[in-house]
Structure 1
Amino acid sequence: MFLSNRERENRYRAVRQRMAEAGLDAIIARGSSAVRGDGAAFRFLTAFPNINIPLVCLFFRNEQEKPVLLVESRFQAMRAEKQSWAEDIRLSTNFFQSLTEVLKEKRLEQAAIGIDGLHNFPFLWGQKIEESFPGIRLTEFGPALKKLRAYRTPEEVRLVKKSAALVDRAFTEGIKHIKPGKTEWEVMARMDFILKSNGVEKSFNIISQGPKVDAYVPSARKIAKKGTVFTELTACYGGYWTQLARAVSLGKPDKRLVRLHQVAVRAIKEALPYLKPGYKVSKPMSVMEEYVKSSGLGCTPVYGHIVGIDMVEDRPSPQNQTEVVPGMVFIVHPWPILDNSSLLWGETYLITEKGNQRLNKVGDELIVL
């Protein structure tokens, strides 16, 4: 377990308060990997690093009722007993049937039930619940849960910092293996080995070669003798994601790469004074975009991530009107374009009471190998 019982109680108290405000009696959360919108609320409520099919958690406003975790296999049940907050863990061969049995057991036939993402909730489940329990009201509760998990507590900050440190280490040691003749598989395997052998549970790592960043999963393509190699390392440690996006040059860097690098680094520095409480997300992102464009370069409209349990809790952009508050974690990466060349470059920042803290310690220099 990465988080304490005290963290659990504080989290549960906050969730139940929101439930009371919304008039909800229970929550149904499904989830598996907590990557790109799938399972973050499930992980938030259970602290369980599920890796298989979406499991089901039922959480109740009545604090005397323990959350129920429905699992498919005995392996999941055994692991959940050790690595989750759930005390009521039940094996199920039919999640929907087990779900309806719990609703009856807890006397929720007339309840208001919040769903973590109605768009992800199985349509037939919703239809059958309404048919079987005419008194039940299903309502969207995903956005409320998303707001609750948007800000890192001190315990979570410790995990975020560890994640960033491991990403730094994987990059610093891994680029030593970027050598002509090696395959992308070999390069990224080394970086991922460093992450996984130090406790990272999930990673999302991509690579590209050449003047234009078109990164994807590694392939059998061999590293060229000269040119640009871009890597984006994203790691989840203890349930929390961080990222580092960097490029290295094999041999003397191309003039366009040098220019792209200068603009990307400077664009982030221009934005950072506004990436703090008192501003909306739109302000630093607008500043960053304007700097890139005022430098005579194009600007790809991908500015980073707001991260947490989910790798993309939200997207920072010049249109995002979310207030920047302490505890938020941002991956900031401008993506300038010059002719047929481009560069994605960035790192992870934690919002503090008065500003922001850069979590990745890898420098801003363009590394030449």
Structure 2
Amino acid sequence: MISAEDEAERELRYRKVRAAMAEAGLDVLLAFGPGWRRENVRYLADAPVGASAAFVAVPGSGAPAAFTTRRQDVPVIAGSGWVTDVHFATPGRAEQLVEWLRGSGAKRVGVAHQELLPVVWAELLRKALPGAEFVSATSLMDDARMVKSDWELARMRRSAKVCAAGWQAFVNVLEPGLPEYRIVSAVEAEVKRLGAEDNFMLIASGKDEVRGMVPPGDRLLADGDMVRTELTPQMDGYWLQICRSAIVGRASDAQRRSFDLFNEAVEAGLSVVRPGITAHEVAVAQNDVFRRKGYGEYCTSQYTRVRGHGHGLHLDEAPIIEGNHTVLPENAVFIVHPNTFTPIAGYHVLGDPVRVTADGYEILVETERKLFETAKDAA
């Protein structure tokens, strides 16, 4: 039985999506979820799915329906109470999906993640509605998910607490001779103990030769290493990330100078956050710090990918990069992280996730932004 709180959230989402559908002239929206991009299916069904392909079909009015290539997903989706008309479907056994589409009489269909739709599914949809126009609704769903409700923010705050606990577990195990994979195993144990569904993590250890982060390996930590991570647990479907670096032992002067540079860049990025700011402007504010200090070349794609990114049901949403003029409205959630290589002390990782508030921002993690050191007498 769906709770009153969940029902209110479901109705809020469907009103938002249907208003966008009406504006775009869509009769039906098909939220497609391939195995690695299931956020739109979860947004509309509030259920985790494990299928290689799943759809939630939303008509302009009336009840939605869901279709999945994994039989085990059917009771999971139906059990959430958000979408109760749920069917098993594959390209070779899609009678109910075809029947639903034909029954809709749709003339214009928006497909979220149409760009990822396999040819076999695209052909099936066209045969089901041969006279219909199919268009991408990816940006429609991106926009719908951008502004977080109080219901969503409550879940993301739970993720924030797990971020803090995971980072503390990270720091607690650091010592010379420890292999990288043991660090990640300690973090995984802690975040899973706290209820995380998943955790995305990259890591790097070493000194100024480190140029990026990778999955953990068997490299052994040494005294004076800086150990960097992006730690991103998923709770109730929602991802949140913390970026920090720690020193095995005591930090060198170069590592401290590197931290000061990156912290100044984070502060610069945060200083411009307000409703209506663009991803471009947040990136420029961070990059300008590096440019003023003579490190502008390390803001390029040769050394770094983004200066942050959105958070939500997908772990890497709207990119915070120069040239992306996506507007960040109140209650958007994203991380500000100027992670990149510089010759000062190698690749450095630092960043905080924030919520855009009416007059600025709210940092969602409680972990202090500092250069952590494991030496007992370190400051």
Shorter-chain TM-score above 0.5: yes
1:305 to 303, 309, 313: 309
- TM-superposed deviation, 1:197: 1.7
Contact 2:115/2:136 (CA < 8 Å) preserved in 1?
Answer: no
- TM-superposed deviation, 1:97: 4.1
Contact 2:59/2:104 (CA < 8 Å) preserved in 1?
Answer: no
Please tell me the residue identity of whatever aligns with 1:341.
G
Contact 2:107/2:132 (CA < 8 Å) preserved in 1?
Answer: yes
Deviation beyond 6 Å, 4+ runs, structure 1: none
Contact 1:27/1:115 (CA < 8 Å) preserved in 2?
Answer: yes
Q: Match of 2:274, SS?
A: coil
Q: Match of 2:289, SS?
A: helix
Q: Match of 1:4, SS?
A: helix
Residues of 1 paired with 2:80 and 2:194: CA distance?
18
Please tell me the residue identity of whatever aligns with 2:195.
G
2:189 to 183, 186, 193: 193
Residues of 2 paired with 1:198 and 1:279: CA distance?
34
Residues 328-354 of structure 1 show CA distances to partners (whole Å, capped at 9, x for unaligned) of 111111135432722121121111111
Contact 1:192/1:203 (CA < 8 Å) preserved in 2?
Answer: yes
Residues 16-55 of structure 1 show CA distances to partners (whole Å, capped at 9, x for unaligned) of 111122221211122155x5xx122111111111133222
Residues 1:324 and 1:78: Cα distance change in structure 2 (over 3 Å): closer
2:362 to 344, 357, 360: 357
- TM-superposed deviation, 1:278: 4.2
Please tell me the residue identity of whatever aligns with 1:67.
P
1:367 equivalenced with 2:363 (yes/no): no
Residues of 2 paired with 1:200 and 1:145: CA distance?
25
2:342 to 331, 338, 343: 338
TM-score (norm 1): 0.91
Give the equivalent residue in structure 2 for 1:244: 242
- TM-superposed deviation, 1:255: 2.8
1:323 to 324, 327, 331: 327
1:183 to 154, 179, 185: 179
Residues of 2 paired with 1:296 and 1:137: CA distance?
52
Residues 270-310 of structure 1 show CA distances to partners (whole Å, capped at 9, x for unaligned) of 22221112432322321211112212333344201112111
Contact 1:28/1:113 (CA < 8 Å) preserved in 2?
Answer: yes
1:79 to 62, 76, 79: 76
Residues 1:344 and 1:81: Cα distance change in structure 2 (over 3 Å): same
- TM-superposed deviation, 1:150: 0.4
Residues of 2 paired with 1:95 and 1:334: CA distance?
48
1:114 to 78, 93, 110: 110
Q: Match of 1:235, SS?
A: strand
- TM-superposed deviation, 1:95: 5.6
Please tell me the residue identity of whatever aligns with 1:68.
A
Residues of 2 paired with 1:357 and 1:321: CA distance?
22
Q: How does 1:269-308 map to 2 (within 5 A)?
A: 269-297=267-295, 298-299=298-299, 300-301=303-304, 302-308=306-312
TM-score (norm 2): 0.89
Residues of 1 paired with 2:361 and 2:179: CA distance?
37
Residues of 2 paired with 1:30 and 1:349: CA distance?
28
Bigger shift: 81-90 or 168-177? Answer: 81-90
Question: Number of matched residues?
Answer: 362
Q: Match of 1:256, SS?
A: helix
Give the equivalent residue in structure 1 for 2:51: 52
Residues of 2 paired with 1:26 and 1:207: CA distance?
43
Residues 85-130 of structure 1 show CA distances to partners (whole Å, capped at 9, x for unaligned) of 11111223546444212223x242x532111122112223323443
Please tell me the residue identity of whatever aligns with 1:91.
F
Residues of 2 paired with 1:47 and 1:148: CA distance?
15
Residues of 1 paired with 2:233 and 2:182: CA distance?
18
Q: How does 1:196-235 map to 2 (within 5 A)?
A: 196-211=192-207, 212-235=210-233
Q: How does 1:88-99 map to 2 (within 5 A)?
A: 88-93=85-90, 94=92, 96-99=94-97
- TM-superposed deviation, 1:5: 0.7
- Taking only the aligned residue pairs, the percentage that are identical comes to 23
Contact 1:243/1:331 (CA < 8 Å) preserved in 2?
Answer: yes
Contact 2:354/2:361 (CA < 8 Å) preserved in 1?
Answer: yes
Q: Match of 1:312, SS?
A: coil
Residues of 2 paired with 1:237 and 1:83: CA distance?
16
Give the equivalent residue in structure 2 for 1:156: 152
Contact 1:32/1:51 (CA < 8 Å) preserved in 2?
Answer: no
Contact 1:70/1:95 (CA < 8 Å) preserved in 2?
Answer: no
- TM-superposed deviation, 1:172: 1.0
Residues 1:128 and 1:337: Cα distance change in structure 2 (over 3 Å): closer
Give the equivalent residue in structure 1 for 2:39: 40
